[in-house]
Structure 1
Amino acid sequence: MLVTVVWTIGYAVQQQRLYIDSLRTQAEHRAQEEVAEARRAAGEERLRIARELHDVVAHTMSVIAVQAGVANHVAGERPDEARRALSSIEETSRGALWEMRAMLGILRGEECSGPASRDGAGTAPAPGLADLGDLVKHTAKTGVRVDPEVCGERPELSPGLDLAAFGVVQEAVIHVIKHAAVERCRVAVTYHPDAVLVEVTDEGVGTGRDTGKGGPRPLAGHGIVGMRERVGMYGGEFRAGPRPGHGFQVTARFPSRTTGVSL
């Protein structure tokens, strides 16, 4: 009987250790999968941002080419107009260089494969905050009404910054459609002399409660990561989280003037 009791205890201890080891192995495997998924999602988001910025830079280069042609054409007869064209080329090229360096900053340390731009892109202007009307129309087709509010005098924005701000609004609205379970949201764009403030708010359910549309409201989804990277690329400030009581709010502040870079 003593031998049987000792054997039973030893067997139980062994099984418990095997069970704990199995749980530890499963947890490590899940952690590795989550890290791999996060890296894959971040790589895809960086590639998408890089493609958009490539389109911006390509469009800027086409503008520079046209201005250079004008300067060359009028250099002899109208030197003042040629100087204005050359000055515009200088300003535009500095902005394009800043956009490219910002893009390389996003891609630093990441290996992305695939085409550099979309077919047919490169000469058409990229979307910006002026296209909020189109976003409102497209969102209405999903059953969610967007109430836009624009305050202040719009400053001169670089194409990349304008695209990044529009991308934040677009991703935030998609976040509302997927997770808020509401019929409307508010998009506010406020232009300050030195900054652009974007806010997207809704009255839907907050983080931690089931929305009926795929589970609790995420705070670290792929869209949130993409918005934060877009804002960080321009040295801005980003916040996303539940509002007091209920609802969710995404806030992004972009400095409207970027530090110049030398060619």
Structure 2
Amino acid sequence: MVKEAKPSINESEFILAALNEKRRVDGRGIYDVRSLQINFGTDYGQVEIQLGRTRVAAKVSAKVERPRNDKPTEGILFFNTEISPMACPTFDSGSRSEEEVLISRIIEKSLRRSRAIDTEGLCIVAGEKVWEIRVDLHFLDHDGNLVDCAGIAAITALSHFRRPDVTVVGEEVTIHPIDQRNPVPLSIHHIPICVSFAFFDEGQLLVVDPTYLEERVKKGDMTITMNIHKEICALSKAGGIPLELDQLHRCSQIALIKVTETTEQIQKALETDKAARKSKSSGAK
């Protein structure tokens, strides 16, 4: 990985001076997130998320596999991340950086370990055949807060995805092509959303949805994954300055507001896409 240049003293002082006045370099308030854009691809399970100038593309695919020995009645949910030098020149295409590993772990905790997806519903024949759902995340542009953007991309793509329908008669399994039978959506229990914070000035100052420049100046960070039911699905804090309990409580209250807004936007985008596809299908007939 290419060594990342540290921000200049002037950059650091300028950012901190602005934050002390409750302002940010890009004009946002300290608790404001950047604009979110959701664009779906032609196929189910393809989505591109843009958070400010940070962009992540997600693609979901499915194939039939044998289940794991310790979970014979559960399907498999697998995440794969890829950060290329296209997104940011500090990334090396030859190996996984620490940041990429950390992002993968947070996404894994947020979506798989929180049981957001009903993996038992992916079982075809117990102990023999299950669906393996793979989520590929490609980081296209890095202007800070890759975690939140990737988390939104992953859960939106999973919500949008449709797998082929299956008929099981005795030991015979028939997978129906999408053009012959309507594909089936995944069973999703809840929509976990990541909300990341960056801390400055020994934790006295904080911002939501940090930019690339803010991430280079920060003294610590934390990501809270929550759903609209006020359930904290995961909490990640990898080093940095320690936080007081009241600071953690304040962050969780801010996160709930952002989670509610983002969830509504995702659901609205899914409904709009569904209506557009239905209209296109009716027009084709």
The TM-score range, normalised by the shorter chain, is under 0.3
TM-score (normalizing by structure 1): 0.27
Greater share of helix residues, 1 or 2?
1
TM-score (normalizing by structure 2): 0.25
Give the structure with higher Rg (CA). 1
